[in-house]
Amino acid sequence: MNIIRRNERSGECEKEHEETRSLRSVVVAVVRKVFLLLITPKVRRKACTVFFLWGASSMIYYGVSLNSYNLSTNLYIYTFLCGLLEIPSYLLNWLASTTLGRKKTLVCLYLTCSVSISVLTALIMLLEEVPSWAKMVLSLSGKMAISAAFGLMWYANAVACDTTDTSQATRSHTQ
């Protein structure tokens, strides 16, 4: 496409050539950027795994966090302990992922969380009155494990894709 501009000093018209792309090439570029993670089978498998794990971590984390009213006798102490347990959960995450690796650590964290939350659920369903300390210990151990898994998912998200695709992957996984 040629653009004609008038030079203000000399008053002459100058022609500039501007590169244009066809509408089809623009649409293909946008679609390729949106579906960047689903193009090749290897990246697709990694992306779908991270999508699932990210969703599971988010649901469990926020489910345990927002259900604190039912799990504790004192909401303020429970909230304080949840915040306090974030620090050792990230330290545990760092220690476990350096010694065991990311995958084994993530599996252990999910198993720990699922066992503690399942035992808590079974106690609530089977017993009429569950001791408050048992509720606190089981829910906080599940919260600690899922907090570590949630933190590990940020790292796993960055490692799952190439360096050029990491920002696109992070945006799509966390939404």
**Which of 93, 100, 108, 110 shows the shortest CA–CA distance to 154?**
93
> Does the structure show a pLDDT above 80 at 128?
yes
- At 119 the pLDDT is 94
3-state secondary structure of 107: helix
For 131-154, the pLDDT digits (tens) are 888 888 898 899 899 989 888 887
> Does the structure show a pLDDT above 80 at 100?
yes
> Does the structure show a pLDDT above 60 at 102?
yes
By the 8 A CB rule, do 36 and 168 touch? yes
Q: Is 66 contained in some domain?
A: yes
Q: Is 2 contained in some domain?
A: no
Q: Is 63 contained in some domain?
A: yes
3-state secondary structure of 171: helix
> Does the structure show a pLDDT above 60 at 105?
yes
Q: How far apart are CA 151 and CA 170, in angstroms?
A: 13
Q: Is 17 contained in some domain?
A: no
- At 14 the pLDDT is 47
Separation in Å, CA 93 to CA 22, 49, 105: 49, 20, 8
**E-state strands within the chain:** 2-6, 13-17
Q: Is 25 contained in some domain?
A: no
For 25-72, the pLDDT digits (tens) are 777 777 776 676 677 787 778 778 878 888 888 888 888 888 777 776
Domain assignment of residue 106, given as a range = 37-174
Q: Is 28 contained in some domain?
A: no
157 or 111, higher pLDDT = 111
What mean pLDDT is reported for the chain? 77
- At 18 the pLDDT is 40
- At 48 the pLDDT is 80
Helix axes 166-174, 132-160, angle to 10 degrees: 150
pTM: 0.69
Q: How far apart are CA 174 and CA 32, in angstroms?
A: 19
Q: Is 152 contained in some domain?
A: yes
> Does the structure show a pLDDT above 50 at 15?
no
**Which of 107, 99, 101 shows the shortest CA–CA distance to 145?**
107
Q: Is 114 contained in some domain?
A: yes
Number of domains in the chain: 1
- At 162 the pLDDT is 60
Own/partner pairs, 65-70, CB within 8 angstroms, 24+ separation: 65/143, 68/139
CB atoms within 10 A of CB 163: 7
